[in-house]
């Protein structure tokens, strides 16, 4: 099984794109709904909660776990990859959504390997200079307080695409708005405009905006109204899924561990019926969920 983790049901937007790219594998989705949202929690707490979730997915037998949650990717992935896995799960892998998103922003073609700090990437054995076509382009990354405070997007972008000027904007309340089903209407637009003020006239408009949180694609209709048509809004799900699929293809030794039964299992730490109702709506198909407990 491929494990997919998110603090809530928002990560289903990533799962859904993964299922389109790689439908044959078995998937286990875990939502920590009982402790969501993570976006305003401290680095320490996000680390602990993510570790518990990843351990649980490994214990269920997942050889590979995708952190669909940006907050978890930004706050916990490095610790997981550098400290936790080598110690406890040396044969397993955890991937996050920050790096593939940044590769997409940097215009690095799928199937190539970026060389940090060199403005270059490898296509097969050929070193290719990054285009930098849009020198000095202004790009905005929107995320939770924790994601933005971590500067994960900033650090990766400075390494892979130093010609991009990046504005990282924390968007408090957006996740609670989506969780409350308030994805449109005046109040929602107010809080979207409030967070986006630095990116709206009279300030310079970004050429591209990355939605760096799994919940934000649900706000796309309002965001489309707020930004001018010259600004491209990037939904992370498809970008990330495409690159994760490529990662799996390029790692046959990992791929060999993945089972291909086409099954999907949905687990949540809070009410499974609520999750199945909300999740099914988001996926566009009826699902069943079960409740599980995470412990440190």
Which parts are annotated binding residues for substrate? 6-7, 38-39, 70-71, 214-215
Question: Active site includes 171?
Answer: no
Q: Does 270 bind its own copies (CB under 8 A)?
A: yes
Task: Give the interface segment with its own copies, choosing from 60-68, 81-89, 103-111, 175-183 (CB under 8 A).
Answer: 175-183
Of 22, 35, 11, nearest to 293 by C-alpha is: 35
Beta carbons of 127 and 120 less than 8 angstroms apart: yes
Using CB under 8 A, which of 20, 23, 42, 288 touches its own copies? 42
Active site residue 69: yes
Interface region with its own copies, contact rule CB under 8 A, candidates 43-51, 100-108, 111-119, 151-159: 43-51
The single residue among 153, 191, 227, 266 that binds its own copies, judged by CB under 8 A, is 191
62, 120, 171, 213: the active-site residue = 213
Binding mask 209-228 for its own copies (x = CB under 8 A): --------------------
| Residue 32 CB-density burial (10 A; 0-12 exposed, 13-18 middle, 19+ buried) | buried
Identified binder of its own copies from the candidate list 176, 183, 205, 255, rule CB under 8 A: 176
Q: Got the DSSP string for 14-79? A: HHHHHHHH-TTS-EEEEE-GGG---TTS-HHHHHHHHHHHHHHHHHTT-SEEEE--HHHHHHHHHH
Cα gap 247→174, rounded to integer Å: 31
| Chosen residue from 182, 184, 235, 255 binding its own copies by CB under 8 A | 182
Q: Enter the tokens of residue 166.
A: 């990046």
Residues with a known catalytic role? 69, 213
């Amino acid at each position: 099984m491929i494990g997919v983790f998110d603090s809530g049901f928002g990560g289903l937007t990533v799962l859904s794109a993964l299922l389109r790219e790689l439908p044959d594998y078995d998937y286990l989705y875990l939502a920590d709904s009982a402790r969501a949202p993570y976006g305003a929690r401290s680095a320490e707490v996000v680390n602990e909660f993510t570790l518990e979730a990843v351990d649980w997915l490994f214990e269920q037998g997942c050889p590979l776990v995708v952190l669909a949650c940006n907050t978890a990717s930004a706050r916990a992935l490095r610790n997981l990859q550098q400290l936790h896995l080598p110690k406890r799960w040396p044969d397993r892998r955890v991937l996050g959504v920050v790096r593939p998103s940044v590769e997409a922003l940097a215009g690095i073609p799928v199937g190539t390997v970026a060389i940090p700090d060199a403005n270059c990437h490898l296509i097969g054995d050929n070193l290719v200079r990054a285009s930098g076509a849009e020198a000095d382009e202004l790009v905005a990354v929107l995320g939770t307080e924790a994601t933005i405070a971590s500067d994960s997007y900033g650090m990766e972008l400075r390494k892979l695409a130093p010609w991009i000027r990046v504005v990282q904007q924390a968007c408090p309340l957006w996740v609670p708005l989506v969780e409350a089903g308030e994805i449109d209407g005046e109040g929602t637009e107010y809080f979207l405009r409030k967070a986006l003020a630095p990116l709206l006239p009279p300030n310079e408009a970004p050429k591209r905006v990355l939605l760096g949180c799994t919940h934000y694609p649900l706000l796309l209709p309002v965001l489309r109204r707020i930004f001018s048509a010259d600004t491209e809004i990037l939904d992370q799900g498809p970008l990330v899924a495409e690159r994760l699929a490529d990662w799996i293809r390029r790692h046959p030794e990992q791929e060999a561990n993945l089972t291909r039964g086409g099954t999907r299992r949905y687990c949540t730490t809070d009410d499974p019926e609520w999750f199945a109702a909300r999740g099914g709506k988001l996926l566009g198909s009826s699902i069943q969920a079960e409740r599980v407990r995470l412990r440190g």
